[in-house]
Every structure is written in structure tokens, then in C-alpha cells.
């Protein structure tokens, strides 16, 4: 969970972005959680997602230990299933959800609704009605129109805790499409133009809405601490103005998530220990300067919990050379991982299931879909003798893979298999052709 500059050779470098339980026997298959990945592929088919339960739990505990006294909410949009909600609950984290679907799945699994926060820039009537019916802990207001809608849904005798998502005017994140702290994107209310302060004044006029704090989310794949420190200063500055104008003292401050992780050996990840230490110090200093009590800190990691715990396993369907490029085509692609096409994400797939003594060669790993942009890894180092029938495993596949998977070419979404202590169990079954046919009712 900290920034690491890995060596460029050896087993440590090769496995640096894999779950901590990963082992590489001298004459055996790569195993995670005590389960050989080739066995998972043979038993459950490919493509298949493998999720290391112990890694998920350990990362939850790491956050809890790094931020004592803070509220840590797992961002369900990264990946959610019933087992994931159960693990997060048992490890003492709350949950942040973005839809009625995510909310209902969590609550019907047994997750306490009071520890859930509902987000979304355009919440539907069903989202809000479900949140109120199930007793969600807080609703993060993202637009002025939402204030009246939520107040009306709550009713004059009801009560709902809310936060306001503000835009601090900070550009941070690994790609322009995942930067959400600036004024030129769809999320939140700007501090700069006064919309945030105006919305807060309107909320204070709704007695059934209890404003508990400010919320911001700067973006995703942030690998430096500085943007979070700037955000603290700007949000505390707004809190000071609200106190001066309304006598308001807000007890909570939510800095969102976006904590960057390494997808390939040698890449940087956000130093969580430094983040926690410096954010707490910055918050205490800013509040002391403003004459305000220090609010309770809330953070929302998603990718940093789920991402490094997941592996995607594919089977090679074809290998061909076109010009100077070797294309290794697998039985999945952009329908189960759209992130390379959307954000240019780079992965480090590796051969599993057999030993190869061939020298490594540069290859482009592509998917099976009818798009030239269906590329999973443009510059992968694979053995020169890679061939149809081989298995490839892609680490750091636990976040924004299945949650963003789609039905392109009607191939069906892959299953999710949990591994722990030498056992593998199915969490989410494969989407079948029968599932797809049943939805098509128009003939």
C-alpha cells in the first residue's frame, strides 16, 4: 500500500503487483491464496476473475490502521458482490454506493444501512426512494435540484443526514476522464463560483435535512499526497466562511478516495502512511488557524482495496504476426475490461500453467471483440513460444473490471472466484447465453 520502486529483475519484481499470497513453485503453477490459477481456469473456465479474500481483508485493515478515528468507506463502484460486502462489513468499513442496485444488494446481504453513503451526480427517484426506505446513513447532495427533491421525499416529519459534494478546483488523477476535482466536469458544486455556499444555505432552510459535512473527490489514480493537502485547506476555508455566515460547525469532512495503485512492476502507488500522517496534520493546522474544531475525517478507497486483490485469467485463442507486431488473442477483452480502451491503462500479463524456457518477446495481447481498440496489453513481455491453448493471467484486475463489464458481442460476463487457504469458491457465476436470451423478449 506504499510507494515502492521495485527491482527490475527477479521473482520479487515479477510478483510485486500480485497479491501477497502469490507463490511461484519451482516446478509448479503460479498460485494465489494457495490455489493454482490453472486449476481455477480448468474448473471454472475462462475468462475468469480470481479474487484473493485475504488480500481484500488485509487492505481493509491497513486503511483502518492508517486512519485511526476516521471513517473508512469502501467505494462499491470498484467492485461489489454479496461476499465483498460481507468482507468489508466484517473488517469494520462502511460503504459508499452510487445506485439503488448497489444499495439494495448490500443491505439485503446484511450490511448495516446506517454505515452506507449514497453518491451520484444524477440520482434517480428510485435511488432516493430506496435510500430513504432502507435508512441509508447519508446522502451526498450533488446538485441544487436534488435538495428540493430529497426534502420532498423525506417529508415534513422525516429526517435525513446529508453532505454536500464540493469542487475544490484541483486537477489530479491518472487520466483526464477520471479527474473530478475541477470545475469543468459533471460532479459537485463549485467553491469558486459560490454554488456550493448557495446550496448549503438552501439545505439549512430545510429542517428535515441535517447537514453533517462537506465531501469532495479529486479523481482516480492519484499517486502524490499534495492534492489532498490542498483540498483540505480549501474545504476548511469554506467551513470557516460557513461558520462566519451561519454559525455552522460541521462535524465531518470527506476527502473521497482515488488512491493510486501500481498496475505494473516499478510503477508508483500512493504512500498511504504519508497520506494519513500529512492529511491529519494539515487538517489540524487548518482548523486551528480557522478557530474550528477538527471534524471527523472520512475517506473512500475502492480501487486500492479491490484492485490488487484480483487477477483475470484468459486462454489464448490465436497467435499471429502482422508486420512487426505479434498479436496474442485471448477469449475475453473489452467486454470484461474496458479500461485500456477508455483510459489507456497498461497491464503486465504473464504466462501461467506451464514452464517456458523461451526468451521473452514483445507482444500485443488483444481481445476477441470486433474493435481495433480491443487491446488488453500493448507491450507485454511473453515467452516467444506462446501458443493457442496457453493461459495468461493479468494481475491488479479486481477493480473496475466486472463492475464495468458489458454485453458487447453477447459473449457473457465472466464469473468471480474467491480463493483463500487453498480453497476456491464461486462468488458470481458466469453470465450464460440463456441469461442473455431471457432478457430479449421482443419477438
Q: How long, in residues, is the chain? A: 443
Instruction: Read off the C-alpha cell for 320.
Output: 499471429
- Provide the β-strand partners of residue 417: 50, 426
Q: How far is CA 7 from CA 146, 168, 267, in A?
A: 50, 37, 11
CA dihedral for 383, 387, 389, 393, sign (positive or negative): positive
**Look-up of cell digits 475468469:** 48
Secondary structure letter of residue 322 according to DSSP:
E
Backbone angles phi, psi at 416, to 5 degrees: -120, 130
**Residues of 216-242 as b/e, b for ≥16 C-beta within 10 angstroms?**
bbbbbbbbebebbbbbbebbbebbbeb
Distance CA 381, CA 4 (A): 21
Instruction: Read off the C-alpha cell for 387.
Output: 501458443
- Which residues neighbour 65 within 8 Å (Cβ) at sequence distance 6 or greater? none
Instruction: Read off the C-alpha cell for 147.
Output: 435538495
- Which residues neighbour 420 within 8 Å (Cβ) at sequence distance 6 or greater? 33, 34, 52, 53, 54
- Which residues neighbour 160 within 8 Å (Cβ) at sequence distance 6 or greater? 132, 139, 150, 154, 208, 209, 210
Which of 81, 98, 216, 370 does the annotation list as catalytic? 370
Q: How far is CA 277 from CA 225, 256, 281, 331, in A?
A: 10, 16, 6, 44
- Is 370 labeled as catalytic in the residue annotation? yes
Q: Supply the residues annotated as catalytic.
A: 370
Amino acid at each position: 500500500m506504499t510507494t515502492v520502486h521495485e527491482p527490475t529483475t527477479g521473482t520479487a519484481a515479477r510478483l510485486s503487483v500480485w497479491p501477497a499470497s502469490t507463490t511461484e513453485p519451482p516446478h509448479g503453477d503460479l498460485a494465489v491464496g494457495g490455489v493454482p490459477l490453472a486449476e481455477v481456469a480448468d474448473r471454472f473456465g475462462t475468462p475468469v476473475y480470481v479474487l484473493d479474500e485475504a488480500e481484500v481483508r488485509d487492505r481493509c485493515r491497513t486503511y483502518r490502521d492508517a486512519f485511526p478515528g476516521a471513517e473508512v468507506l469502501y467505494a462499491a463502484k470498484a467492485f461489489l458482490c454479496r461476499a465483498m460486502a460481507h468482507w468489508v462489513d466484517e473488517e469494520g468499513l462502511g460503504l459508499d454506493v452510487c445506485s439503488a442496485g448497489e444499495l439494495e444488494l448490500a443491505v439485503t446481504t446484511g450490511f448495516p444501512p446506517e454505515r452506507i453513503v449514497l453518491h451520484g451526480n444524477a440520482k434517480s427517484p428510485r435511488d432516493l426512494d430506496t435510500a430513504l426506505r432502507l435508512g441509508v446513513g447519508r446522502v451526498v447532495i450533488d446538485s441544487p435540484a436534488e435538495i428540493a427533491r430529497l426534502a420532498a421525499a423525506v417529508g415534513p416529519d422525516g429526517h435525513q443526514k446529508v453532505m454536500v459534494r464540493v469542487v475544490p478546483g484541483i486537477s489530479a488523477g491518472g487520466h483526464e476522464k477520471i479527474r473530478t476535482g475541477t470545475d469543468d466536469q459533471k460532479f459537485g458544486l463549485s467553491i469558486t463560483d459560490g454554488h456550493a455556499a448557495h446550496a448549503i444555505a438552501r439545505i439549512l432552510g430545510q429542517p428535515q435535512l441535517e447537514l453533517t459535512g462537506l465531501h469532495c473527490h479529486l479523481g482516480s489514480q492519484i499517486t502524490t499526497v499534495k492534492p489532498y493537502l490542498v483540498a483540505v485547506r480549501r474545504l476548511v476555508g469554506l467551513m470557516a466562511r460557513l461558520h462566519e455566515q451561519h454559525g455552522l460547525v460541521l462535524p465531518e469532512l470527506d476527502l473521497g478516495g482515488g488512491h493510486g495503485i501500481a498496475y505494473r512492476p516499478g510503477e508508483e502507488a500512493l504512500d498511504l502512511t504519508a497520506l494519513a500522517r500529512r492529511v491529519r496534520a494539515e487538517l489540524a493546522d487548518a482548523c486551528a488557524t480557522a478557530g474550528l474544531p477538527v471534524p471527523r475525517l472520512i475517506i473512500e478507497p475502492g480501487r486500492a482495496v479491490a484492485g490488487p486483490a484480483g487477477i483475470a485469467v484468459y486462454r489464448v485463442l490465436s497467435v499471429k504476426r502482422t508486420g512487426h507486431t505479434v498479436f496474442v488473442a485471448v477469449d475475453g477483452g473489452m467486454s470484461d475490461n474496458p479500461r485500456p480502451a477508455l483510459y489507456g491503462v497498461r497491464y503486465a500479463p504473464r504466462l501461467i500453467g506451464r514452464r517456458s524456457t523461451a526468451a521473452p518477446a514483445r507482444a500485443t495481447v488483444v481481445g476477441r471483440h470486433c474493435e481495433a481498440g480491443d487491446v488488453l496489453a500493448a507491450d507485454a513481455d511473453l515467452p516467444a513460444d506462446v501458443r493457442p491453448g496457453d493461459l495468461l493471467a493479468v494481475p491488479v484486475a479486481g477493480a473496475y473490471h466486472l463492475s464495468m463489464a458489458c454485453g458487447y458481442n453477447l459473449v457473457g460476463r465472466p464469473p468471480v472466484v474467491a480463493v483463500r487457504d487453498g480453497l476456491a469458491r464461486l462468488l458470481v457465476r458466469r453470465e450464460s447465453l440463456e441469461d442473455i436470451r431471457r432478457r430479449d423478449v421482443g419477438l
